[in-house]
Amino acid sequence: MENLQQLENDLLQQIQTAADIKSLEEARVSALGKKGIITEKMKNLGSLSLEEKIAAGKMLNVLKTTIEKAIDNKKAELETLELNRKLSTERIDVTLPIRPENQGRIHPVSKIYEEVAAIFGQMGFDVAEGPDIEDQFHNFNALNMPANHPARQMQDTFYIANPDSTDFDDSFVVRTHTSGIQIRTMEVKKPPIRIIAPGRTYRSDFDATHTPMFHQVEGLVVDKTTNMAHLKGCLYDFVKAFFEVDDIKVRYRPSYFPFTEPSAEMDIGCRKGKGELKIGEGDDWLEILGCGMVHPKVLQAGGIDPDEYQGFAFGMGIDRLAMLKYGIPDLRTFFESDLRWLKHYGFVPLDTSSMTGGLSNNGGLAR
Ligand code: DAH
């Protein structure tokens, strides 16, 4: 039995000196594996007499348990060491600033989306969406612009062939405005409705203030007593919050849109001059959006009874708002993907817009 004691000492020594999990595993295999030394000894018990078998079996079991325990303890110790090593070498300081060359920027259009959603969100509006490729019903007909209506010519439309029909009236369009989302919303939602619908829009036009793809945000409010005073109050609060100016003059000029009656355009007071635009001061006016009371035919097309409900709607250009608020002179540069431009006019991602935390976060100055 002496040699068993010696074996135990040797095995324990091997376990204790294992420098890592791998050499510990080797020690385990050499003792307890299929061909391990303890396993072999247990196999040999069969050749002993009954008495010897009982005595030796007992001792081997004790030895086996001792070795298993020693391996478990050593394993836990090595794992803790390994974890501590990882914790000290793989530590990341999350408070370190991002390397300037890796810093992304939020595009001014995305920033304006956020700002507009923050303002109307606080007034209780939901955000609605619609498809970029639209059918003529939602883009035109349901908005009181039947085929051959002259207003269709006002919007330089891109048409897309319908693979299932050669009839021009069945062709699709890339939406010329976000107004179709009014119809899509009314189709699935019963009043009271209060939504804004931001999105990409498309027209065949290209100069410093027009690009074939641009962005709009639509607004729609429908309820039993919604009226023009609600429209005026809502939009007045919007421009005040958006331009971050407490004292701002607004005026409404009569206008025409097929989907509203009466229709108006809203201007805000400003001072133009010397390459500078100051909003909230001066005697000049700047057109900012189109709006009006939803035409009864439009309510009807959306499945809403115009004898019971009425509403107001508005639509404005997001890119134009970005140009005005952040002093960006040429719309075409918005879509050139020039990183130098984005670094100059873009926004730091963590500066999110909110009505309580600040809208533009930098007082309206682009960085
Ligand atoms: N859809 C119009 C356009 O693209 C903008 C517009 C004007 C939307 C008046 C409206 C509205 O909802 O009431 O020019």
pLDDT tens sequence across 148-182: 888 777 678 999 999 999 998 999 999 999 999 99
- Name the pLDDT band for 361 (thresholds 50, 70, 90): low
Percent of the chain with pLDDT over 90: 73
Numbers of helices and strands, H then E, in the chain: 12, 11
Ligand 1 atom showing the smallest separation from residue 260 Cα: 13
Residue 37 has pLDDT above 90, yes or no: yes
Taking the centre of ligand 1 as the mean of its atom positions, its distance from the CA of residue 300, in whole angstroms, is 18
Ligand 1 atom showing the smallest separation from residue 292 Cα: 13
**Closest Cα to residue 220, out of 319, 308, 295?**
295
- Which residue shows structure tokens 């010519």? 153
CB atoms within 10 A of CB 149: 14
Mean of all residue pLDDT scores within the chain: 91
314 lines ligand 1 (CB under 6 A): yes
- Interval 300-314 mean pLDDT: 98
Q: How much is the pLDDT for 70?
A: 94
266 lines ligand 1 (CB under 6 A): no
289 lines ligand 1 (CB under 6 A): no
Taking the centre of ligand 1 as the mean of its atom positions, its distance from the CA of residue 160, in whole angstroms, is 22
179 lines ligand 1 (CB under 6 A): yes
292 lines ligand 1 (CB under 6 A): yes
203 lines ligand 1 (CB under 6 A): no
The token duo for 212 is 């074939």
Residue 275 has pLDDT above 90, yes or no: no
The string of pLDDT tens digits covering residues 187-232 is 999 999 999 999 999 999 898 889 999 999 999 999 999 999 999 9
Taking the centre of ligand 1 as the mean of its atom positions, its distance from the CA of residue 273, in whole angstroms, is 29
Taking the centre of ligand 1 as the mean of its atom positions, its distance from the CA of residue 291, in whole angstroms, is 6
CB atoms within 10 A of CB 298: 26
- Which residue shows structure tokens 């021009």? 168
**Measured distance CA(328)–CA(321) in Å, rounded:** 10
pTM, full prediction: 0.73
Q: How much is the pLDDT for 362?
A: 52
318 lines ligand 1 (CB under 6 A): no
- Interval 19-48 mean pLDDT: 91
Q: How much is the pLDDT for 2?
A: 56
140 lines ligand 1 (CB under 6 A): no
In sequence order, the β-bridge partners of residue 250 are 268
**Measured distance CA(10)–CA(236) in Å, rounded:** 88
Give the three-state DSSP class for 357.
Answer: coil
Mutate to test the pocket of ligand 1, among 257, 260, 299 (most ligand atoms within 8 A of CB): 257
Q: Higher-confidence residue: 367 or 331?
A: 331
Q: Which residues are CB-contacts of 78 (< 8 A; sequence separation ≥ 6)? A: 18, 20, 21, 24
94 near 330, Cβ under 8 Å?
Answer: no
177 lines ligand 1 (CB under 6 A): yes
Taking the centre of ligand 1 as the mean of its atom positions, its distance from the CA of residue 293, in whole angstroms, is 11
Q: How much is the pLDDT for 268?
A: 95
315 lines ligand 1 (CB under 6 A): yes
Taking the centre of ligand 1 as the mean of its atom positions, its distance from the CA of residue 67, in whole angstroms, is 82
Q: How much is the pLDDT for 153?
A: 74
- Interval 24-53 mean pLDDT: 91
- Interval 23-49 mean pLDDT: 91
Cα 309 to chain centroid distance, Å, stands at 34
The string of pLDDT tens digits covering residues 87-133 is 888 888 888 877 766 678 999 999 999 999 999 999 999 999 999 99
* Protein residue closest via CA to atom 8 of ligand 1: 315
Alpha helices in the chain (DSSP H): 2-16, 21-32, 37-44, 50-89, 108-122, 136-139, 151-154, 180-188, 228-243, 296-301, 318-326, 339-345
14 lines ligand 1 (CB under 6 A): no
Q: Higher-confidence residue: 218 or 45?
A: 218
311 lines ligand 1 (CB under 6 A): no
- Name the pLDDT band for 365 (thresholds 50, 70, 90): very low
* Protein residue closest via CA to atom 5 of ligand 1: 315
Between vectors from CA 198 to CA 197 and to CA 203, what angle results, nearest 5°? 115
Q: How much is the pLDDT for 352?
A: 78
Q: How much is the pLDDT for 304?
A: 98
Give the three-state DSSP class for 259.
Answer: coil
Q: How much is the pLDDT for 173?
A: 95
CB atoms within 10 A of CB 361: 18
For CA atoms 119, 121, 126, 131, give the dihedral sign. Answer: positive
348 near 327, Cβ under 8 Å?
Answer: no
**Which amino acid does the sequence have at 198?**
P
- Interval 269-285 mean pLDDT: 88
Q: Higher-confidence residue: 314 or 48?
A: 314
Taking the centre of ligand 1 as the mean of its atom positions, its distance from the CA of residue 354, in whole angstroms, is 26
- Which residue shows structure tokens 């007992």? 58
For CA atoms 359, 362, 363, 367, give the dihedral sign. Answer: negative
Helix orientation angle between 50-89 and 21-32, rounded to the nearest 10 degrees: 170
Ligand 1 atom showing the smallest separation from residue 220 Cα: 12
